Amino acid sequence: MKPRLLEKQLGLWDVYAIATGATLSSGFFLLPGLAAVGAGSAMPLSYLLGAIILLPGLLSVVELATAMPRAGGMYYFLDRSMGPLVGVIGGFGTWFAVVLKCAFALIGVGAYLQLFLPGIAMGPIAGAFAVFFGVVNYFGAKKSGSFQVVLLIGLLILLLWFSGFGLLQIEVGQFSGLFESGSAGIISTAGLVVVSYMGLTQVASVAEEVKNPERNLPLGMFLAFGSTIAIYIVGTSVMLGVVGVDTLARDGGDLTPVATVAEAMVGPWGAVIMTVAAVLAFSSVANAGILAASRYPLAMGRDKVLPALFSHIGARGTPSVGIAVTVGMILLAVVVFDPSKIAKLASAFQLVLFALACLAVIVMRESRIESYDPGYRSPLYPGVQIVGILGPFWLIVNMGLLATLFTGGLITFGAMWYTYYARDRVSREGAIFHVFERLGRQRYEGLDRELREIMKDRGPREADPVDELLTEACVLDLVGPIDFEELASQASQLLARDLSVPANELLEGFLRGTRMGATPVSHGVALPHVRLDVLDRAHLVLARVRGGVRFESDQDGIGRKSDETTRAVFFLVGPVTDPGRHLRILAQIARRVDQESFMPEWLDAESNEQLKEALFQRERIFVMTLGSNQQGSDLIGLKLKALSLPDGTLIAMILRGEELIVPRGDTALLDGDRVTVIGQADGIRALRERYGVVGS
C-alpha cells in the first residue's frame, strides 16, 4: 500500500521562517561567548568560514530536496542515492544532530531566563519548553509554521534594533589583536559554530509538506542563508566592538552574551529586551527543530528501517510517535550534556551530512536516471561537490578528539543497526547501483519507479506544456474493440501529418515500447510513448475505444496482470533532448487517470472537447456555458482580448454548436458558447467564486 503522504501546508514564508528561525538562535545568543574563547577578536571570521565550508553542502541539499521532496530529508536522500546502509547512518545521525541542536537551544532559554529567575535551574525550564513545542507540533505543520512566522517577525525586529544601535557604539580598539588566536583557533571555532547553520537544511526534512517545492524550497533556503550570514557577522562584530573579547570569554564563555552587550549599551532594560529576543529565538529553533526532527523517524518507519509504529500519522496529520520520541530524546540530552559538548557533537555530524549530500548529488547525476529531475541544479558541478566533500572532514579533524570519536561512533551505530535489524526487512538499493550498471554490474529499477511517482505527486512545472499539449491533441473516438497494433497505426498516421517522421517509424516505436514493457497500463488506460531526436516539442493523440483495446499479451506495461479493459490510450511523442519534461508529462497524465473520477468522465464525454477536458486536473480547468439568463451573461458579445481573466488563466477552447473554435484575440463570445478555461489553481478558483459555477 502506498504510504499516506503528509499534507502540503507550507508556503515560501513558512520555509523561510523555519530555515531562518532554526538558525538564528544559539549561534547568535549562546555561542558567541564560547566562540570568543577559541577565536578571540577573529570570531566573525569563524562564522564566515563556517558558512563558506557549508555552502557546497547547502547547494547539494537544495538540489536533492527539489528532486525528492519527501519527509525525512537527508535520510531519504542518502538512502535513495547510496542505499539503505548509508541512509540508516545518515538518518540516525541527522535525527540525533537536530535533537542536540534543539537541546542546545532550550539550554539557552534556561540560561537567559535564569538572569531574572535565578532560583530555577536551567534543566526544568528547558524541559518545560520542549514539551510545549512538542504539543504545538502535534497540532499540525501549518500551525507550527504560522507560529514560526510570528516568532521570526518579533525576533528580526529586536535583532535589527540590537545591530543598528550597537553599530553606533562600536569601539575600533576592541578589535586589536585580531589574529592572536592563530589560524588553528579560527578554524576549530568555525567547526564549533557550524551548528549555527544547521537550521538551513532542516527544512528539507519537511519538503513533502511544502507547496510548490521547486520554487519555495530553493528561494526560502537561500534567502535564509543570506539573512543569517549578514546577521551573524554584523551581530558578533557589535558584541566584540561594544564589550570586547575578554568580557565575552570570561568564565569559559558567557552563556548570555547578547544580554551582556545590550546592558552595556543601554542599561538593564536592554538586557530585558534582548532576553525576550533570546527566548523568541530559542523557541523558534526548538519549534522548527522538533518539526524537522520528527520527520526522520517517520521516513525510516515507512522504509521499515525502524519499527512500523514510527510511520504512524495521527489524527492531526502529523507523525505523533516521531514527535513524542524526539521530545523524549531532547529531554535526555538536556540532562546528560553540557552546552559546549552539545554544540561540538551536533556540529561534527552535521559536517559529515553536508559532505554526504555532496556525494549523493554526484551519485544521482552519474547514475543517469532520467527520472532524477531536480527543479534546482547545483552550479559548477562536480567541482563544488568535491570541495564540499573534503572541506567538512578537514574541519572535523581540527575540532578535536571528541568530535572525531562521536562521528565515528554514530557511523558505527548506524551500520550495526542496519546489519542486525534493517537489512532483512529492506529490499531496496540506491542510485549508486545505476552507476554500477553503467560499469556492467547491476541496476535497481525500484528507484526509477519511485522517482517517477514523486514526479506525479509533485505536479507540473510552470514551463511544462501540459495544458497546451492537451488542448492541441488529436482525438480518435472509436467504438471498438480493436487490436492495439491497429489503433497505434491510426494514431501514427494522425501524428505523421504534423511531424517530419514517417508513420511506420512512429508505429514501430510504439509497438517496441509495448513489447519491452515500457508502456504503463493502469486503471483502464495505456500510455505508449516514444522519444525522437528530430522533434523539438511534444505531440499527443487521445484515443477512446468504448469496446476496449486488445493487446498481444495479457501482461500490462509494468509487468502485472491487468484485469481491466483498456478504454483510453494516449500516444505521446517527444524530443530526446529533454527526457525530464517527457517524463513529467507522462507523470501528470498518469496523475489524472489514477483518480476515480477520470474514467466515468472519459466514457461520458459527448465531444472531442469534453474528452480533452476529462484529462485536466479539476483544480486547473473551468467550464461554463454562456446564456443570457444565467451567470456569465456579461461575457456575451465581448471579444477575448477585452476580457478580464485572473492571472495565470486563459480560454483554451470554445465549442459553438458542433464547431470547435480556436480562440483568438478578436473572437467574440456568443450566447450558447461552451467556454473552457485552463490555468493555475488560484486563478481557476477565483473564476469559480466569480461565477458560482462548478463546471459542466
Class of domain 12-425: mainly alpha
Q: Does 452 score more than 90 pLDDT?
A: no
**Tens digit of pLDDT for each residue in 207-261?**
777 888 888 889 988 998 998 899 899 999 999 999 888 888 887 778 888 889 9
Q: Does 544 score more than 90 pLDDT?
A: yes
CA distance 59 to 80: 18
The least confident of 276-290, 348-362, 487-501 is 276-290
- Decide the pairing of beta strands 539-545 and 521-522: unpaired
Give the per-residue pLDDT at 366. Answer: 83
Q: Does 459 score more than 60 pLDDT?
A: no
- Over range 598-605, report the average pLDDT: 87
Count the alpha carbons within 13 Å of 211 in the hemisphere toward its beta carbon: 12
- Over range 317-333, report the average pLDDT: 83
Q: Does domain 618-691 have CATH number 3.30.70.1450?
A: yes
Intra-chain end-to-end CA distance of the chain, in Å: 33
CA distance 660 to 584: 28
Q: Extract the C-alpha cell encoding 232.
A: 551573524
Give the per-residue pLDDT at 560. Answer: 39
Give the per-residue pLDDT at 3. Answer: 54
Q: Extract the C-alpha cell encoding 397.
A: 579533524
- Over range 191-197, report the average pLDDT: 78
Residue 153: which of 22, 15, 21 has the closest Cα? 21
Q: Does 430 score more than 60 pLDDT?
A: no
List the alpha helices (DSSP H) in 139-256.
141-167, 182-193, 199-202, 213-243, 245-249
**Tens digit of pLDDT for each residue in 176-188?**
777 776 778 888 8
Q: For the sheet with 674-679, list strands across it.
A: 621-625, 674-679, 649-656, 659-661
| DSSP string covering 219-240 | HHHHHHHHHHHHHHHHHHHHHH
Q: Does 576 score more than 70 pLDDT?
A: yes
Q: Does 24 score more than 50 pLDDT?
A: yes
Q: What residues have CB less than 8 Å from 539, skipping those under 6 apart?
A: 469, 473, 495, 498, 499, 572, 573, 574
Give the per-residue pLDDT at 438. Answer: 52
8 A C-beta contact, residue 688 and residue 633: no
> How do the domains of the chain map onto residue ranges?
12-425, 461-612, 618-691
Q: Does 500 score more than 50 pLDDT?
A: yes
Share of the chain above pLDDT 90, in %: 7
Give the per-residue pLDDT at 561. Answer: 42
What residue type is assigned to position 583 of the chain? L
CA distance 417 to 409: 12
> Which residue bears the cell 519538503?
207
Residue 79 DSSP SS3: helix
How do the residues of the chain divide into helix, strand and coil, expressed in percent and rounded to 5? Answer: 65, 10, 30
CA distance 366 to 430: 12
8 A C-beta contact, residue 76 and residue 295: no
At residue 428 the predicted structure's pLDDT band, cuts being 50, 70 and 90, is low
Give the per-residue pLDDT at 141. Answer: 52
Give the per-residue pLDDT at 455. Answer: 57
- Over range 119-130, report the average pLDDT: 75
Q: What is the CATH number of domain 461-612?
A: 3.40.930.10
8 A C-beta contact, residue 35 and residue 192: yes
At residue 559 the predicted structure's pLDDT band, cuts being 50, 70 and 90, is very low
Residue 585: which of 377, 373, 367, 378 has the closest Cα? 373
List the alpha helices (DSSP H) in 368-483.
383-399, 401-417, 432-438, 445-458, 466-472
Residue 390: which of 64, 65, 56 has the closest Cα? 56
Mean pLDDT (the chain, rounded): 79
> Which residue bears the cell 489514477?
594
Give the per-residue pLDDT at 239. Answer: 92
Q: Does 311 score more than 90 pLDDT?
A: no
CA distance 59 to 69: 15
- Over range 579-603, report the average pLDDT: 81
- Over range 62-80, report the average pLDDT: 81
Q: Extract the C-alpha cell encoding 228.
A: 543569517
Q: Does 427 score more than 80 pLDDT?
A: no
**pTM for the full model?**
0.67
Give the per-residue pLDDT at 489. Answer: 92
Share of the chain above pLDDT 70, in %: 86
Asked, as a colleague might, if the bond just before 84 is cis with ω within 30 of 0, I would say no
Residue 124 CB neighbour total at 10 angstroms = 11
Q: Does 417 score more than 60 pLDDT?
A: yes
Q: Does 347 score more than 90 pLDDT?
A: no
Question: 558 or 62: whose pLDDT is higher?
Answer: 62
What residue type is assigned to position 648 of the chain? G
At residue 440 the predicted structure's pLDDT band, cuts being 50, 70 and 90, is very low
CA dihedral angle for residue 462, residue 465, residue 466, residue 472, rounded to 10 degrees: 150
8 A C-beta contact, residue 575 and residue 535: yes
CA distance 168 to 238: 9
CA distance 191 to 184: 11
Q: Does 533 score more than 60 pLDDT?
A: yes
